[in-house]
Structure 1
Amino acid sequence: MCGLAGFLQPSGFDARAGLGAIQAMTAAIIHRGPDSEGHWAEEGAGLVLGHRRLSILDLSPAGHQPMHSACGRYVIAFNGEIYNHERLRSEVRGARGEVPQWRGHSDTETLLAAFSAWGVEETLKRCVGMFAIALWDRQERTLTLARDRFGEKPLYVGFAQGASSGEGEPVTGRGSLLFGSELKALMAHPQWQGTLAEQALEGYLRFGCVGGEASIFQGVAKLPPGSLVTITHADVQAGQLPAPVHWWSAEQAARESMQAEPLNEPEAAVSAVEQALGQSVKSRMLADVPLGAFLSGGIDSSLIVALMQQQAEAPVRTFSVGFDDARYDESSHAEAVAAHLGTEHMTLQATSQMALDLVPKLPELYDEPFADSSQLPTALVSRLTREHVTVALSGDAGDELFGGYNRHLWVPRIWHKLKRLPLPARRALGGSLKAIPAQGYDALMRLGGRVLPSRLQVRTFGEKLHKLAAVLESPSERALFVGVASMNREPAALLEGECSGQTPKALFPALQQFDSVEWMLLMDTLHYMVDDVLVKVDRASMASSLEVRVPFLDPEVFHTAWHIPVETRLKEGQGKWVLRQLLYRHVPRELIDRPKMGFAIPLDAWLSGPLRDWAEDLLSTASLQALPMLDAGQVRRLWQAHLKGQGHHAQQLWAVLQLLAWQRRWRPGLP
């Protein structure tokens, strides 16, 4: 696991200036690779590659990057891991069929040999791993950027003084073409002149992240998952980035899996997942450094740890975080699972103050606005874990593949009933629900909690009912899903004028051959997982120089999941039914069956209490004036309503506050 950066200029450059620029870019991402630094330039071509290394495989100098291929044609800066690289080594041959003479045992060297033998796209299709790649072809004088299937590793690309004229139009600009693992690497280049992408704000305020191929800066894009782009000097001189080419598509892979003979028999489905996921876990335990796992005590992380422990020769090291607020503390569940499995477990007993101290540092950690508040416990558990191991496995992506979010169950049920009512009647019903303040519903739930079983008790009950009321007017089941998946269903209300970017319809297109639940699973995989979950985990872990591996994001696990009908994945009214049955083979049911909590924090109380001064400073007149596209009056009204307890607005406010904090730290130019 590492970080990469680089640039391609329309013409050559002074060696000293090029060295200074790339050193500044890689210094900005030193946390991604604190073990060593490397850089390489082809001055006549105007190309510079930079690399920061976190040594995981082949700790010797033979793994140093940027690395040259044995044939001399390719130079690579590579971030990630290729889990099947040893098998690829056994298969790759030279042009005359000879076996390469290996200098070390790094997967980077394996990649270069495979590129030389099979070409770039064919090699990527054979790779199982997480990666971002910058590859310079000295023969063709082209730069190829590539990203893994699911977007586990980030890769930004754009022009130093770029500009984009709007949604769906090509990235255009002038000056050097910059690329890197994080935006802060691009911002460190001396030519950088970043301008705020105003059209990205509505989507950010809706979902709490900058989604899709866009970035928060005009003229800078994220390379899509499963794609590559090959760039020539002519492209740089024209100031236009070619369209990415997809070498893998989750949508197409899901269709192909669904066309195969389905795994209809439940026990066969469970065994197939055990086989695929067990092999994925095994391949991700390969490392030349200490390795462990996150363990929350939930289904996904418990299953990953159980499969690790099954294959390990010694107790697996597991890590969790607990809070001093019992409503948000799952650490006792994690400890019970760890004790049953026999892991070597550690719990960080985090205080609220530890999380609060981290809040002002978030704009540095996430160099795009990011408002998933579970970023705080994720960063804390990553910091704890890194004190003991360099690599950790996580249970992320189980929800997206196997149907673990409540919306996967609720949306079809709700729509089945809603569609019987005319839209005007539904709007009237929504108004009635919203007539009672959210805190009133919460009080009723607290009273009911004295007699209701725990599985029927709902935290933030009022917020959920108000969210339901807001989506009653949905004209379709898919529109209902978009509303439920949104952090803020009406983000335009917080913006002045025309700041809209991608519409929900554009973000969540209708796809043929998928029923409603299949469509939701795929949309969560393509959007929420890529834009939120993986961003959260990557930045939080890499800030502590910790590599996190995700066994669920394996092509064979993905194929197996989509080989199983949704009525089996969500069976008996339970999400992740298949994963539950598999976990019961390793952990007693009573340790697992409880309401889904999530990685939450008491955001409402913090914003009204210990974070109030921080928030009010960001909501000052001068701060709001720095982002004139925000409707300052509406933002302040939302803040006052929160302080008075008039509804649950913490998530919407958190998105605004993170945007303002990001602006204060990075000072983008305004359009």
Structure 2
Amino acid sequence: MCGIAGIFHFETPKPVDPVRVERMCDALVHRGPDGAGVWTAPGVGLGHRRLSIIDLEGSPQPMHSADGRAVIVFNGEIYNFEELRRELSAMGAQFNTRGDTEVILAAWQKWGVKCLDRLHGMFAFALYDLDTRELFLARDRLGVKPLFTARLSDGSVAFASEMKGLLAHPLLRREADPLAVEDYLAWGYVPDHRSFLKGVEKLPAGHYRLLRHGVPPLPPVQWWDISFAERRTGSSADLSAELLHHLRAGVTSRMIADVPLGAFLSGGVDSSSVVALMAEASREPVRTCSIGFDVAALDETAYAQQVAQLFGTDHRSRRVDPDDFGAIDRIAGIFDEPFADASALPTLRVCELARENVTVALSGDGADEAFAGYRRHIFHAREEQARAVLPGFLRGPVFGALGSAWPKADWAPRPLRAKSTLLSLAASGEEGYARGLSVIPPELRQTLFSDAFLKVRGDYRAEDPLIRMMRDAPARSGLDRAQYADLKFWLPGDILTKVDRTSMAVGLEAREPLLDHRLIEFAAQLPHRERIRGGQGKWLLKHTMERHLPREILYRQKQGFVTPLAQWLRGPLAGEARAIGSSAALARTGWFDTKRLSTLAEEHISGRSDHARLLWQLLMLDRAVDKLGLSA
């Protein structure tokens, strides 16, 4: 795993200062502490920071092709590189290294942009072809690895694995995009279709860009998408056997490394499944790690220990103080953009623990999105059944009126918290799912912003792109569309961003075997009954793993990393919550009604209301604005 950065001039192939590229790479040293390199030619410069995983001594970057006609900087892993090497060698390709980077170069020279279809793995790379004088930027299918780009005032495009690489370039403007503020308040992160800074873009997952000297920059081209338009046939037993094949392939392909390798183990279905299949494929005990909390309701280490004993893993666990809020400033620095998924804190801690013993760790991320494992999938499927029975002209007025009148009761038992469900049923399936997925609903956001900001924001609403994505999805049902949105919107924007930044912050490579694209494509074709059955999500996955894992692991209530935000913001962080309304950083932006923010903070601190998620988002936004030095 690595960090990459570079500069490309469109109009005139001006010389690129290698020191400038080197400084961009130095900002990414945490992603690649084992080595560095810079290459420049007229109009182009490529830089690299290396974390050595495969061919430890023999694959320095930037790397030239065997014939010297192409140069690449690459962040990621190609899991089928040995198979591709054999195929390309048979066609006459020459190789000087044992790693996967040189295979990408040879694949480009043989197949051009079609080489992407043959690459199995996680990657973001920049490849410059000296013959055609074009720069090829590409990102993996599901967006495991990030790539930021920015158009600069001197006519160049800069790119980097993280925004901090771009921030090291003196020509990057530090001006916030107001629509990104709206997006962030809705989702708790800035989704991939936008960046927090104007002029900065994220190359979308499953896309590439070809940049040529003398040609205006072309938009990204989608080279892969996930389709829910087809359905598999066959018995559950047959589908289970096929699923197990894909699971094994995903896990074993990601166990290739020339450095110590292990796994995160929470004791949940997904990480336990990965560890079970790793143990099956390994002659040595699998190295696993987990973290726990002193608060029993938040602690899952007993389940992780049970799985570790079952498979004889070399297991390490560590308890984390639930008041571990001291890393807030560090988290803000790790993400650059505002990022309010509070599970980033415990994720960082488990990455730190893993890095003490291994350089690569396998995770269980992706199964919930692929197999309908979130409670919201079950709720949405039920709501879609209701929408199918009740016509829209009846649902809108009736449920809309009930939802508006129903009190917001976060403190009440779940059956009495019907406001969101009623408002969701009043809308279309896409609108309802967008409302359920958002952290701060549009009517509350409207009350937070200043009049000046509302004029700038105009008619745009953060939910609009998600709703369009769902309506245009290659899908057959509401559940399909919800999962499509999760895989294309939520997964790269939140989950994979969180894991990439926290793991790379400590020089750890995280791999996601349950995001093998062949497994994802298989899961997208499963009938509904194989995804949700008897009120259980991920039904086929759980059924398949019954031969490997005990039922108390497979069928216990889902629990993720939990951070006690409400308690923090009423206790040790109460002062921080009160300061949000008068914060120098947020106040100078002019985005918010600061009196309204102060009122919400006091309501939360007193216990009259629970505004923990909103206050946490504002706190992390304040930190990001301060670190970026923004004024508006």
TM range (shorter): over 0.9
Mapped partners of 2:375, 2:554: distance in 1: 17
Q: Judging changes above 3 Å, is the alpha-carbon distance between structure 1 residues 560 and 4 closer, same or farther for their aligned structure 2 residues?
A: same
Aligned match of 1:650? 612
Which amino acid in the other structure matches residue 76 of structure 2? Answer: G
Is the contact between residue 281 and residue 307 of structure 1 (CA under 8 Å) also seen in structure 2? yes
Of the three residues 297, 302, 308, the one matched with 2:267 is 297
Contact 2:30 2:506 in 1 (8 A): yes
2:102 matched to which residue of 1?
109
Q: Which residue of 2 aligns with 1:227?
A: 207
Is 1:3 matched with 2:3?
yes
- Asked if the contact 1:67/1:77 (under 8 Å) is kept, the reply is yes
Evaluate the alpha carbon distance shift between residue 472 and residue 124 of structure 1 in structure 2; reply closer, same or farther with a 3 A threshold: closer
When residues 416 and 556 of structure 1 are mapped into structure 2, their CA distance, relative to the original with a 3 A threshold, is closer
Superposed displacement of residue 656, structure 1? 1.5
Rounded to whole Å, the distance in 2 between the matches of 1:114 and 1:438 is 54
Tell me the distance in 2 between the aligned counterparts of 1:30 and 1:487.
Answer: 33
In the aligned structure 2, how far is the partner of 1:20 from the partner of 1:619?
A: 42
Q: Supply the distance in 1 between the matched residues of 2:447 and 2:210 (Cα, whole angstroms).
A: 40
Q: How does 1:421-436 map to 2 (within 5 A)?
A: 422-434=395-407
How many residue pairs match? The answer is: 617
- Report if aligned partners of 1:374, 1:599 keep a CA contact under 8 Å in 2: yes
Deviation at 1:63, TM superposition (A): 0.6
Would you say the 8 A contact 2:77–2:123 is kept in 1?
Answer: yes
Q: Residue 424 of structure 2 contacts residue 436 of structure 2 at CA under 8 Å; is this kept in 1?
A: no
| d(CA) in 2 for partners of 1:372, 1:264 | 39
Q: Deviations over 1:565-616 (max 9, x none)?
A: 1221112221000111122111111233221111111111011111223333
In structure 2, runs of 5+ residues without a counterpart are: none
How many percent of aligned residue pairs carry the same amino acid?
A: 38
- Where do 1:87-106 residues align within 5 Å? 87-93=83-89, 97-100=91-94, 102-106=95-99
AA aligned to 1:41 is T
**2:379 is paired with a residue of what secondary structure?**
helix
Q: Hey, what's the Cα distance between the residues in 2 that align with 1:621 and 1:344? A: 47
Whether the 8 Å contact between 1:93 and 1:117 is mirrored in structure 2 is no
Which residue type is aligned with residue 124 of structure 2? Answer: A
Alpha-carbon separation, structure 1, partners of 2:311 and 2:631: 53
Q: Secondary structure at the match of 1:315?
A: coil
Per the alignment, residue 44 of structure 2 pairs with 47
Mapping of residues 325-364 of structure 1, within 5 Å: 325-353=295-323, 355-364=324-333
Offset at 1:216? 0.7
Q: Where does residue 33 of structure 2 map in the other structure? A: 34
CA distance in 1, matches of 2:398, 2:93: 72
Per-residue CA shift, 1:299-358, capped at 9, x if unaligned?
1111111111111101101111111222211111111111112211111211124x2111
Q: Counterpart of 1:57 in structure 2: which amino acid?
A: I
- Let me know the Cα RMSD of the aligned residues: 2.0
SS at match of 2:37: strand
In structure 2, what is the Cα distance between the partners aligned to 1:616 and 1:242? 47
Query: Is residue 2:508 matched to residue 1:546?
Result: yes
Residue aligning to 1:494:
448
Q: Distance in 1 between matches of 2:614 and 2:399?
A: 24
Distance 1:338 1:621, change over 3 A: closer
Partner of 2:601: 639
Alignment correspondent of 1:243: 219
Partner SS for 2:201: strand
Contact 1:618 1:661 in 2 (8 A): no
Once the two structures are overlaid, the 10-residue window that deviates more, 416-425 or 574-583, is 416-425
5+ residue gaps, structure 1, are: 162-173, 446-457
Counterpart CA distance in 2 for 1:214 and 1:122 is: 27
Per-residue deviation, 1:11 = 3.8
2 CA distance for matches of 1:282 and 1:495? 50
Q: Distance in 1 between matches of 2:570 and 2:606?
A: 9
2:477 is the alignment partner of 1:505: no
For residue 563 of structure 1, give the secondary structure of its aligned residue in structure 2: coil
TM-score by length of 2: 0.94
Q: Paired residue for 2:589?
A: 627
Q: Which residue in the other structure is 1:324 paired with?
A: 294
Name which of 347, 371, 381 aligns with 2:350. 381
Aligned-partner Cα distance in 2 for 1:31–1:660: 24
Q: Look up the match of 1:143.
A: 135
How has the CA–CA distance of structure 1 residues 516 and 68 changed in structure 2, closer, same or farther, with 3 Å as cutoff? same
CA deviation map 1:279-306 (0-9, x unaligned)? 1100000000000001111111111111
Matched residue of 2:524: which SS? helix
Q: Separation in 2 of the partners of 1:502 and 1:141?
A: 41
CA distance in 2, matches of 1:341, 1:539: 30
Does structure 2 retain, via aligned residues, the 8 Å contact 1:193–1:669? no
* Aligned 8 A contact 2:66 2:96 in 1: no
- CA-to-partner distance for each residue in 1:39-64, whole Å, 9 max, x for gaps? 0000xx2211110000000001x210
Matched, 1:482 2:450: no
CA–CA separation in structure 2 for the residues paired with 1:621 and 1:32: 32
1:277 aligns with 2:277: no
Work out whether residues 2 and 32 of structure 2, in 8 Å CA contact, stay in contact via their aligned partners in 1.
yes
Equivalent in the alignment of 2:187: 207
